[in-house]
A = this chain, B = another copy of it.
Amino acid sequence: MARNITSRSADYSQWYLDVIKAAELADYAPVRGCMVIRPTGYALWESVQRYFDEEFKKTGHVNAYFPLLIPYSFLNKEAEHVEGFAPEVATVTHAGGEELEEPYAIRPTSETVIGHMYSKWIQSWRDLPVLINQWCNVMRWEKRPRLFLRTSEFLWQEGHTAHATPEEAREETLRMLEVYRQVMEDKLALPVIPGEKTAGERFPGAVDTYTCEAMMSDGKALQAGTSHFLGQNFAKAFEIQFQNKEGELEFCWTTSWGVSTRLIGALIMTHSDDDGLILPPRVAPVKTVLLPISKDESVAENVLLPRAKELSGQLNEALGGLCTFVDTQFHMRPGDRFFTHLQKGVPLRLELGEKEMKAGTVRAVRRDTGEKTDISLETLIPTVKKLLDEIQDNLYTRAKNYRLEHTSTAESYDELKTLLAEKGGFVEAYFGGTPEDERRIKEETGATPRCIPLSDDSRGKCILTGGEGRKTLFAKSY
């Protein structure tokens, strides 16, 4: 076990921070609750971004940029919205050496200012749908910050669309939820449950909120992304109107959806182990590391290193991009060299020693299982590709099995309480209560309804009220 990393069983929270530190993903900034995303962490975010951005563009969306600052009067225009966000807002009161007439909020999310612009841009049904996404920083002041999961500033994307009909807007809301699910499962190897949020968990100002819920390796839930059907709430608040084909003025139907740097936290807590970070190959900026190793430093540098560089060139060409790293830390002991890459989560380590050089092989070591195999250089490219695919699949399957093993069903409120307290994880139960009931459950169990899974449309007796309920997942959450 790594000496610089607390074990998960000893202290999960400390383990999480230790993994981030050892992998050099992020640091706390000298600003309360804010973080610095270090190059290794940022490369991971870029890789995650790229996958989502590609899918957004494929589904017809375009990117734009809206201002960081939002007039306070805008927030006040949608009652639920301001109630939800005002307590977390950071406020600019002075600028350019003067006190401002009206203070500005640093955007906690941009429905309001984007709504204002849409009302200017949209005139006719021909202008619809408007399908815009924004990659930016947002700020929500945090009393108890936690790297990637809850920081006062974070990076995200926020999609904002406007449509002529509620059907089209609902379709968009679910389309983007499905895009999220797909990228999360296929690229980040995060098994998620797409579902609808209960009334108490909705986005402030939304008619319906949908979520992709993931289970972390301590059994707690993490909301990995959300998609909101906003009805005409923001359209009415900001007068987003269009002339329909009949020449009548109508309010638009809008949606918004977002994923954030939180996903990096989800990646860490889903896949990593007591030795440190484990990354799925498809999002790992460095997919393989090649280590020329010899007791004789000059052999390592002059004989093995040139060969390693040649091989890394071939791998980079075959796998696309600069995804193979050649380690030249010859001043360190082999074990320590292994360790730096292991703790950074590199999926596959390839060792090239004198023995391997003679045999025409490299020794491959998988990060996920520790399994070692000797690969003939003649089949290096296809074998590395195959191994990376296997690692990707294994991480997904492992996480999915973990979730299945930690999901149970409660037939009564007492059983829900017992399961949450003793077994943890996700507990399914029929629920049909109010936000007030949700608050009571949270107070008594520490858990909240995470979602009503889209895959299960069944109805049954609510464990709390006895009325009609829908199949709902409960869990403690991040």
Contacts and interface: CB of A to CB of B under 8 A. Distances in A.
Contact of A65 (B66, B67, B155, B322): B155
Contacts of A139: 68
Nearest to A65: B37
A121 to B, nearest CB: 8
Among A65, A89, A103, A322, the one with the most B-chain Cβ atoms within 10 Å of its Cβ is: A65
A93 B91 contact: yes
13 contacts: A29-B67, A29-B113, A34-B69, A39-B62, A39-B132, A42-B65, A45-B65, A67-B153, A68-B137, A87-B96, A87-B97, A92-B93, A96-B143
A363 to B, nearest CB: 27
Interface in A111-137: 113, 116-117, 120, 126, 132, 136-137
Interface residues of A, number: 59
Contact of A95 (B43, B66, B71, B91): B91
Among A46, A69, A94, A155, the one with the most B-chain Cβ atoms within 10 Å of its Cβ is: A69
A38 interface: yes
Given A92-B92, A94-B91, A95-B141, A31 B65 contact: no
A115 B184 CA distance: 35
Interface string A129-161: 000100011010111000000001101000000
A468 B141 CA distance: 56
A354 interface: no
A90 interface: yes
Interface string A49-69: 000000001000011111111
Interface string A68-91: 111100100000000000111111
Interchain residue pairs A-B with the least CB separation, the first 10: A96-B141, A39-B62, A90-B95, A37-B65, A34-B67, A91-B94, A29-B67, A95-B141, A31-B69, A93-B93
Nearest to A104: B31
A220 B141 CA distance: 44
A381 interface: no
Contact of A66 (B29, B71, B90, B141): B29
A106 B88 contact: no
Contacts of A31: 67, 69-71, 104, 113
A96 B103 CA distance: 14
A30 interface: yes
